[in-house]
A = this chain, B = another copy of it.
Amino acid sequence: MRRRLAPEDRQLEIVEAAERLLAARGAQVRVEDVVAEAGAAKGTFFRYFPVWDDLLEAIRRRTFARWTERYAPPAAGAETAAWSSTLETLVQAFVDFTLSQRQLHAVLFHSDFASRRPLAPQAGAVGQLETLIRAGQAAGAFAPCDPRLTASYLFAVMHEAADQAADGADRSYVIEGAAALLRRVLVPGDAP
């Protein structure tokens, strides 16, 4: 049963099959499962992803793209009166996005893969947060600080919020807590 496809299409089928399985079963997925789900042969898998981690990297890229689609930060120079609520929206979106794909999240960001294939520092939500901080500073709404370093720290907080929620903590509570933390760090005069 040989189906000939354009390489991009075939690759896409494999990636989507893998995403489906990883979302459902987490790290237990094997090459064999993926090709079964994708209706392809083993050799075909290795044509597109010579090493398993290559697949995970592709999935990570897609996940970032999906996130960017879901949450677009205010454009630089935007007249945003309410920077505080922007922060809250961000945290909320991030936590919900992460919760919506727990298992996949664990595979991509809490596994050996994550240390074998480190991310560029400006990739994904961290880079986005950095951009947001720069915009807020340019607008005079955020306190001065190293945007990149602060972004990595505050992203760690958001990430932790998502992990807490995934572990059963109350979603709104952790979101509000994290958002408050971000406000205190970024917004001058934000009193406890």
Contact = CB atoms under 8 A, between A and B. Distances in A.
A153 B167 contact: no
A55 to B, nearest CB: 17
Given A114-B110, A118-B167, A150-B181, A192 B145 contact: yes
Interface size class of A (residues with CB under 8 A): 35 or more
Contact of A112 (B112, B159, B188): B112
Nearest to A160: B156
A192 B188 contact: yes
How many copies of the shown chain assemble into the complex?
Answer: 4
A137 B27 CA distance: 42
A146 interface: yes
A191 interface: yes
DSSP majority for the A interface? helix
Contact of A191 (B110, B173, B177, B188): B188
A174 B148 CA distance: 11
Contact of A152 (B110, B114, B145, B160): B160
Interface of A: 27, 106, 110-112, 114-115, 118, 143-146, 149-150, 152-153, 155-157, 159-161, 164, 167, 169, 173-174, 177-178, 180-181, 184-185, 188, 191-192
21 contacts: A27-B112, A110-B112, A110-B114, A110-B115, A112-B112, A146-B177, A149-B164, A149-B169, A149-B173, A149-B174, A150-B177, A153-B157, A153-B160, A153-B177, A156-B156, A156-B157, A156-B159, A156-B160, A184-B185, A185-B185, A188-B192
